[in-house]
Structure 1
């Protein structure tokens, strides 16, 4: 079974075009080895260095052009959060950790994704899509705190933090803000590619801002007066984040 799956992903890899330089930073050799296998078997990314603490990663960053870092949070000498604060803005981050309670702190660094160990193949492939979409888009607009959206004949400045959720409406996306709604001629997938945590896709038709989530009940989230379902497709990633803040 696994042999057939890996053969399929090798075929998929042969059709891939995106080339990224990445480093893996984790003090657990098994975790490094697993990520190395996942990356080498499913992508065309180049693993420039495998680092076992934050200081090794800093040295690798000085010596190589890096696009992406897989970064464990709980490490000796220099932990992942401290290292993330030292990274140039153009290096994108995917946090990896066995401790879900660190997810909340990862929001501060506009990480593309947050992977809980042990990382499954399915979860890695989901992260791969987000990573490549972020690079195709060319920049992470969350870091700017706003973007400009064309709605009708008007171009509006949209503060990222004010977005409660985004809802697909056929060829349009409705951005629901605290004080107004903005309808833009975009697909929800395009909006998803612009946004990282605390924004999270939870349904075919919805992206929510976790900072505005008020409660969860019967597999639905509540933001203001809006009740939004969490679909099976996005359920695993959603609960990874939610469980990180449960007490």
Structure 2
């Protein structure tokens, strides 16, 4: 059996069964790194449901850099927003379409190498232990494409960086129902997260744009083999939908 086909079969089986018999694909929390492009730029904090965005602006108008933070529950979100409020300023609430638009705009920014600013560095480590990492299967050359992620922080990408960005963007979807959880009127009895359909559509578009073997493998597994359902509608009441093939 060819290595690619073997990996495809193993990855698909692993994805279907989930990281463990009773373990959901709950993400590791990656707090704000304090990284920015320049010292004299302006920072603004936005938030929507399960996503927080720290946007760096040049001349108060042009987006220079973005860092997104995924928060699982209300308590975690409150803690991170309070920390960012003391560091940067009052967070601004966005509606789902507005956050999706911001995510799209940020994804189009050319690659930058933000530098860590010591007085803004978070003292909270990434909450992911080695046991969790060992239970994850990630596509070669990526750190975000698979069952969870193995990235140290938001800016940590694999060698297949453009494909990794597609998966990273999908992971920070503001509206989703994690495995084995109830939210927005949806009871997810599967170990796999059900993301908002608009996030899944963007993942498909992004992977097809890359049109690389790893990108197509990810798309085929997610949409054709696993056939992951998505959630649609407006918060707080969503409905589960099937979606088309890759």
TM-score range, shorter chain: under 0.3
The structure in which a higher percent of residues are strand is 1
TM-score by length of 1: 0.24
Using the size of structure 2 for normalisation, the TM-score is: 0.24
- Larger relative contact order (C-alpha < 8 A, sep ≥ 6)? 2
